[in-house]
Amino acid sequence: MKNQKQKKQKQKQNQNQNPSWQDLNPFILSKIFSFLSPHDQLFGPPYVCHSWLSSTLHTIFKNSILDLRLIDTLDQENQRLRFTHLLKLALNHYHGWVSIQFPSKHKFGYFGTVYIAENTPNITSVALSSEASVNMAPIFISLLYWQKLKIFEARMSPDVGYLVISQLVDWCKNMTEIRLHGSVLMEREVTCLVDGLSGLKILDLCESTLSCSAIGIVLDGRLKCVKEINLLHCKFVDDKGEDARADYLVFKAFRDEVVEKASGIKSLKKFVHCLKGTCLHCKDKASGNK
């Protein structure tokens, strides 16, 4: 009996002195895996054991931001497939993300995007890096799941602008920040936005196309909490859709009116624009369109 007890004690001592690879601290494993190349992260540690797979998911996905832009750096189809497989595992086992950063090149498609939304109901911020992300219905449907959303950033194609804005108004009541870069926003879109999301604090319409009447709606005082408005490098069009800068005198009167209205908004702390003076970026862009 004594010999058996002694053998068991020695075995335990040996196990404590020589722990197995799968018993390594997950935090240390995650730190080590972070130094590996994307290819090695995808095809190396996940195949060793369950604990290494868990640490790999923690390395790639488990932080406050679900950053999906890594897939843009993968140039092989098997790498992208492996990435999406690991992403699915992470979505099934972890729900602590507060923000999502979508890739600028890769498209997850309708079902992939909606699947991500279904499994991230608690996020408060979404950034869509390219127009391709919202040129169809996936994000429109995804907003049904992202009802806690506070920050929305996207580059939208003209045909979906009103649909996405109206969906934000209907389902995301706590919005405080909207960044719609490169969008086309006329009276209908802007009216829906300011009437439905009057609590906005930041409205960034950088590099968008806006009608002069739409700008008047933005600055008419309905956004009572707004602290920042960004109209940098925007293209302004008249009621006929013509470039408002074509007539210098008319545009000068328009820009003076815009600046005056903005200065009258008490809550506004920052108004970014290039209406006054010559903006080389806008000038080059306008000459390139001719």
**For residue 124, how far is the Cα from the chain centroid?**
10
Q: Which residues contact 112 (CB under 8 A, 6 or more apart)?
A: 84, 138
- pLDDT for position 159: 76
pLDDT of amino acid 34: 85
pLDDT at residue 17, as a whole number: 56
Assign residue 134 the CATH number of its domain.
3.80.10.10
Q: Residue 124: which domain range? A: 66-84+99-289
Full pLDDT tens readout for the chain, 290 residues? 555 655 556 555 555 555 566 666 777 888 888 888 889 889 998 888 888 888 889 889 888 899 999 999 998 999 999 999 999 999 998 888 999 999 988 888 888 999 999 999 999 999 987 655 555 578 888 999 999 999 999 887 777 788 889 999 999 999 999 999 888 999 999 999 999 999 999 999 999 999 999 999 999 999 999 999 999 999 999 888 888 888 888 888 999 999 999 999 999 999 999 887 667 676 666 555 55
Q: What is the number of domains present in the chain?
A: 1
257 within some domain: yes
Cα-based angle 73, 158, 258 (whole degrees, multiple of 5): 110
**What's the pTM value of the predicted model, to 2 decimals?**
0.84
The encoded tokens of residue 141 equal: 């449907």
Residue 56 lies in a domain: no
41 lies in some domain: no
Q: Is 86 left (phi over 0), alpha (psi -120 to 50) or beta?
A: alpha
For residue 277, the tally of other CB atoms under 10 A from its CB is 5
In whole angstroms, give the CA distance from residue 232 to residue 260.
17
